[in-house]
């Protein structure tokens, strides 16, 4: 029997048309989208996902509830297809990349559908507002081919008050975030240190940087209300690895604290993947190796995380479920 790890994508995984196949062929998936559309301010999400335009879909306040909805649609379609054999897809652990961490907590049973969608909707709105505040314009750049030490040297040379490490995605891929002028200044410095490539990302703000502190403050208050201990049934049986710490979230208090921290803290994705592999290896410690029987399942639009995992360790088995073909492929892989 396979040991499944569920991972959920974040921003930049979206595309026009995502979720259409799930909506048309899975009643359980359709119910998730209909729930999103029934929420205040989100009635346009179905059309944006299915028909665009891309520019509006990509806007942070739209794309966060949109991606989360598609991820949860895919998850519910999997459960629906398995019927009374749903225990076959009980994951040994979950994680999500930035925004995807909310879907991971839903998959683990720590958040309800309503709570998850409410949180990501406000997160997207407040991050969008923070990016438009009267301070220097924000930007992000992917730096390929430098070590963390070299990348931190770039930050020091530009100024840690203007530039920050935002994502530790995989060996040789680190994202910097901060003031646009600082990001642009970092590119030639990274080149001199031996960077193979630098790519300015198509984002509207400096995510995971101090420029997001206004959004972080508001999310802290919201989390304290939405995820109050008496409103959450925390499930320690399915561990969730937090982006901010690359460690297991052990309580409701830690859930709130790590989701708050991740808005301005680096996404430690490579370390998260290593932690997930370690957790999975503890399930059957008698097996020959940590990777034996282990399968990562990227649930949601696109294959961004599959690419990152291949960069981290090409021996990892990774599947993607973003449509009914993906659901069918996963069920076939689980068949004895």
**Residue 208 appears among annotated catalytic residues:** yes
Question: Which candidate in 13, 26, 71, 98 is catalytic?
Answer: 98
d(C-alpha 246, C-alpha 240), whole Å: 9
CA-atom Rg of the chain in angstroms: 19
Closest CA to 223 of 109, 105, 131: 105
Buried/exposed 172-200: b ≥16 CB within 10 Å, e otherwise: ebbbbbbbbebbebbbebbbebebeebee
**Residue 98 appears among annotated catalytic residues:** yes
d(C-alpha 295, C-alpha 329), whole Å: 13
Sign of CA dihedral 162, 168, 169, 171: positive
Q: Are 240 and 6 in contact (CB under 8 A)?
A: no
d(C-alpha 311, C-alpha 172), whole Å: 9
Looking at the DSSP assignment, which residues form a beta bridge with residue 7? Answer: 95, 298
Q: What does the block give as tokens for 109?
A: 């049973």
Q: Are strands 138-144 and 197-200 parallel, antiparallel or unpaired?
A: antiparallel
Question: Which candidate in 131, 177, 208, 265 is catalytic?
Answer: 208
d(C-alpha 331, C-alpha 230), whole Å: 36
What residues act catalytically? 98, 208
């Amino acid at each position: 029997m396979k040991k499944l790890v569920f991972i959920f994508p974040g921003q930049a995984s979206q595309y026009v048309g995502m979720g259409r196949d799930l909506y048309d062929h899975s009643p359980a998936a359709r119910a998730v989208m209909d729930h999103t559309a029934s929420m205040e301010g989100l009635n346009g999400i179905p059309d944006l996902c299915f028909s665009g335009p891309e520019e509006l879909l990509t806007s942070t306040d739209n794309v966060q509830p949109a991606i989360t909805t598609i991820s949860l649609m895919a998850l519910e379609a999997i459960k629906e297809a398995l019927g009374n054999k749903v225990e076959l897809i009980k994951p040994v652990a979950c994680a999500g990349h930035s925004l995807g961490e909310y879907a991971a907590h839903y998959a683990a049973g720590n958040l309800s559908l309503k709570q998850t969608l409410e949180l990501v909707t406000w997160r997207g709105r407040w991050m969008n507002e923070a990016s438009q505040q009267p301070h220097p314009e924000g930007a992000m750049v992917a730096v390929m081919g430098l070590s963390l030490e070299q990348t931190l040297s770039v930050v020091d040379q530009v100024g840690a008050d203007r530039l920050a490490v935002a994502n530790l995605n995989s060996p040789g891929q680190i994202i910097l975030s901060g003031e646009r002028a600082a990001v642009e200044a970092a590119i030639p410095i990274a080149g001199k240190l031996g960077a193979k490539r630098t790519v300015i990302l198509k984002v509207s703000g400096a995510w995971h940087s101090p420029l997001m502190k206004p959004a972080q403050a508001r999310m802290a208050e919201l989390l304290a209300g939405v995820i109050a201990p008496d409103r959450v049934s925390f499930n320690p049986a399915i561990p969730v690895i937090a982006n901010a710490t690359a460690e297991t979230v052990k309580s409701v208090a830690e859930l709130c604290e790590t989701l708050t921290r991740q808005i301005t803290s680096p996404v430690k994705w490579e370390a998260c993947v290593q932690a997930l592999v370690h957790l999975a290896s503890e399930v059957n410690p008698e097996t020959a190796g940590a990777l034996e029987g282990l399968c990562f399942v990227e649930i949601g639009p696109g294959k961004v995380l599959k690419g990152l995992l291949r960069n981290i360790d090409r021996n990892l088995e990774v599947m993607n479920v973003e449509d009914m073909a993906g659901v069918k492929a996963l069920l076939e892989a689980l068949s004895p």
